[in-house]
Structure 1
Amino acid sequence: MYAWEQIQNTIDYIEDHLNQEISIADLAEKAGLSQFYYQRLFHRLVKKPVAEYIRLRRMAKAVDILLDEKQRILDIAQEFGFETHEHFSRTFKNTYGMTPTEYRKKPQILNHMTKPELLLNYILIDEGVPLITNGIVIEINRKHMELDVIYVGFTKKLPLEYGAGLGVDPGVDVLGILWEEIHTYKNQVRSMVTGSEEVGVMLPCSENGFYNYFAGIHANVNKCEMESKIDQWVQPQGEYIVCSFEAENFDFLVTDALYKAQQYLFSTWLPNHKLQTEAFCLEHYETHTPETTKMEIWMKLMEV
């Protein structure tokens, strides 16, 4: 068994026992490692200490349950090992910047710690061969675009931690808010919208430590008809690597599945195939709505 498999086994165990007491000693024993080497290897592969990872996964699960107002916050707290309402509320606020009560009164889209799939760092698939892992189906192909395509939408500057498959710290999902703005605008110009597809594009930023995220729609809107805050982005013609993936539902698609597909494409597939791509990454959605369960990541190959 490879070392990453030993750690993945404990990650799977943690996920199945989040509502029970979990000791690092037991996890290390399951991995067949000393506590010292287990914690070291876990941190190296997951990028979080074991105890912090467990806390963040418990908070992620609690977020979903909190929307059920039939359940008392104290009961939810105790389900995840918190003895008091106060301790749970303090931990939740430290994680998401708001208390459970505040979140329940005014729900927001929140980022959360994703359960890792470490095999995505080590398994290499050929073009056109699907990879199935933990409810996600990933497939990579090449596509050629004959013509440029123009999109209109909004752009937001974000820290680099939000992009390139790096994952993000828990908190309010600013991209979720941006997409809500796009859909409001889309409804306002409905007669000029072409098709249902929507795109999210990670673009370079002149400020170190940041990148620009453009969320847009395909619409026949002239510059003179657009508001001053509306941006345009042109997807250039050329050869693309396209990573298609599906998930069981939209929430899983745009969080866990998207993060894992990015991680696999950027960290494993492209480097191992020695392919160079342009400095933008395109997320292509049939539509960015709760009914969507599949999407694509497009990377334009550099011309030789």
Structure 2
Amino acid sequence: MHAWESIQTTLDLIEERLSEEISIDDLANTANLSPFYYQRLFKRLVNKTVMEYIKLRRLAKASEYLAENKSRILDVALSFGFDSHETFTRSFKKAYGLTPEEYRANSVKLNQFVKPELILNYVMVDEGVPLITDGMVIEVNRKKLSKPRTFVGLEGEIPICQLMGGETTGIAIAKELWMKFGRQKHNIPNQIPDGNDFGALYMGNAKEGNCIYMAGVEVEPGTSVEGYSSFELPAREYLVCGFEAENFDELVDSAVFKADKFMERWMKKHNLTTTDFAIEMYYPSTSEVAYLEHWIVPVPIK
């Protein structure tokens, strides 16, 4: 067994036991490692200490529960391994910038520290060969766009760190933008009936450390709507990373970060970089699967 496989086994175990007591000795024993070496290897592969990672995953699950249930905050805290209301509130505010009470009252979208799938850091596939892991399918192909496509929507400035592989926490600005756009989408004229919803990342006039994100919908060429931004996707060849997840929430909450990380490594392996924009192409979800594509312009590194 590879070292990363041992750590992945314990990541899976942690996820199953977030509401229970978890000891480092038990995790190390599961990984067939000494506690010292297990913690050292875990930090190297996950970029967090074991206990910090467990706390962040507990906060992620607790925040989901807070949004969906009316249980007392103390009961939620105790259910997810926090020993008091105060400890839970302090940890929650440090991670997300607001208290559990404020979160429940405002119902904002949050970025979570995503459970890693370490196989994506170590296994490589060729174009057209799907990689399957933990209910997720990733495949890299090329697509040639014969004519430009036009999209109209809302744009906002977001910190680049929020795009870094699901390793940051806080209010999810891109998700909040999608929620806002969803309430206004009916105002956009000339929508193409079978067109895609669309996300775009580009620098624009964003300040240092940030980028511009646009949430939009495909429209007839030449459409311009006052108060909304437009983006024309040029006709050319694109490198497309398509990925499936079991449902839409899983797709946008964790699969998207895992696919990003895999694609970054895939491009480096193939000596490629990209231009100054990247695209998210959304497809209708069903009860069985949700599907999303990332489109980029591949540029050989000289």
Per the TM superposition, whether the score is higher than 0.5 is yes
Find the aligned partners of 1:90 and 1:11 in 2 and give their Cα distance: 25
Which residue of 2 is the match for residue 100 of structure 1?
100
Structure-1 separation of matches of 2:68 and 2:32: 39
Q: Which range moved further: 50-59 or 234-243?
A: 234-243
CA contact (8 A) 2:247 2:285 kept: no
Worse overlay, 111-120 or 59-68: 59-68
Is structure 2 residue 288 aligned with structure 1 residue 285?
no
CA distance in 2, matches of 1:221, 1:144: 18
Query: Separation in 2 of the partners of 1:280 and 1:62?
Result: 35
Please report how far the alpha carbon of residue 25 of structure 1 lies from its aligned counterpart in structure 2 after TM superposition: 2.8
Give the secondary structure class of the aligned counterpart of 2:274.
Answer: coil
- Contact conserved, 1:20 with 1:81, CA < 8 A, in 2? yes
Report the Cα offset of residue 291 of structure 1: 10
Query: 1:182, 1:106 → 2: CA distance?
Result: 18
| 1:301 counterpart (286, 298, 302) | 298
Which one of the candidate residues 186, 190, 193 is aligned to 2:191? 193
Q: How big is the shift at 1:75? A: 2.2
Give SS of 2:272's match. coil
Relative to structure 1, the CA distance from residue 245 to residue 285 in structure 2 (aligned partners, 3 Å threshold; closer, same or farther) is: same
The alpha-carbon deviation at position 290 of structure 1 amounts to 10
The verdict on how the C-alpha distance between 1:244 and 1:172 changes in structure 2, with shifts beyond 3 A counting, is: same
> What amino acid maps onto 1:238 in structure 2?
R
- Cα deviation 1:147-204 (Å, max 9, x = unaligned): 12222222222222122x4324222111112112322332112x42123411111113
Cα distance in 2 for partners of 1:105, 1:7 equals 37
Matches within 5 A, 1:85-124: 85-124=85-124
How far off is 1:130 after superposition? Answer: 1.6
Q: 1:141·1:242 contact (CA, 8 Å) conserved in 2?
A: yes
Secondary structure in structure 1 of the residue aligned to 2:18 = coil
**2: CA distance, partners of 1:219 / 1:42:** 47
Structure 2 counterpart of 1:248: 246
Q: What amino acid is aligned across from residue 199 of structure 2 in structure 1?
A: G
Task: Tell me how far apart the structure 2 counterparts of residues 252 and 238 of structure 1 sit (CA, whole Å).
Answer: 31
2-side partners of 1:284 and 1:115: how far apart? 24
CA distances 1:61-111 after superposition (whole Å, capped 9, x unpaired): 111212343533222211122222222222222222222233223322111
Q: Distance in 2 between matches of 1:28 and 1:256?
A: 26
Letter in structure 2 aligned against 1:131: L
The TM-score with structure 2 as length reference comes to 0.90
C-alpha spacing 1:180/1:255, structure 2 compared with 1 (3 Å): same
Amino acid at match of 1:174: I
Shift in alpha-carbon separation, 1:250–1:102, aligned structure 2, 3 A: same
Alpha carbons of structure 1 residues 288 and 152: separation in structure 2 relative to 1, 3 Å: farther
For the structure 1 residues 154 and 146, does the alpha-carbon distance in structure 2 shift closer, same or farther, using more than 3 Å as the test?
A: same
Q: Quick check: 1:250–1:290 contact (8 Å CA) kept in 2? A: no
Could you tell me how far 1:260 is from its partner in structure 2? 0.6
Any unmatched runs of 5+ in structure 2?
none
Segments of structure 1 that go 5 or more residues without pairing to the other structure are none
**Identical columns (%):** 44
Query: Is the aligned partner of 1:58 residue 2:58?
Result: yes
Instruction: In structure 1, give the amino acid aligned to 2:133.
Output: T
CA distance in structure 2 between the partners assigned to 1:221 and 1:139 by the alignment: 30
1:133 is displaced (CA, Å) by 0.7
Cα distance in 1 for partners of 2:213, 2:106 equals 26
**Counterpart residue number, 1:37:** 37
* Match status 1:49 vs 2:46: no
Shift of 1:222: 5.4
In structure 2, do the counterparts of structure 1 residues 179 and 290 end up closer, same or farther at CA, with 3 Å as the change threshold? farther
How far apart, CA to CA, are the structure 1 residues paired with 2:140 and 2:111? Answer: 26
Count, aligned residues: 299
- Residue in structure 2 matched with residue 19 of structure 1 by the alignment: 19
Please say if residues 143 and 240 of structure 2, whose CA atoms lie closer than 8 Å, have aligned partners that are also in contact: yes
Q: Give the distance between the partners of 1:150 and 1:277, measured in 2 at CA.
A: 21
Q: CA deviation at 1:253?
A: 0.5
Alpha carbons 1:286, 1:292 under 8 Å: kept = no
Distance 2:286 2:159 in 1: 25
Distance 2:296 2:271 in 1: 14
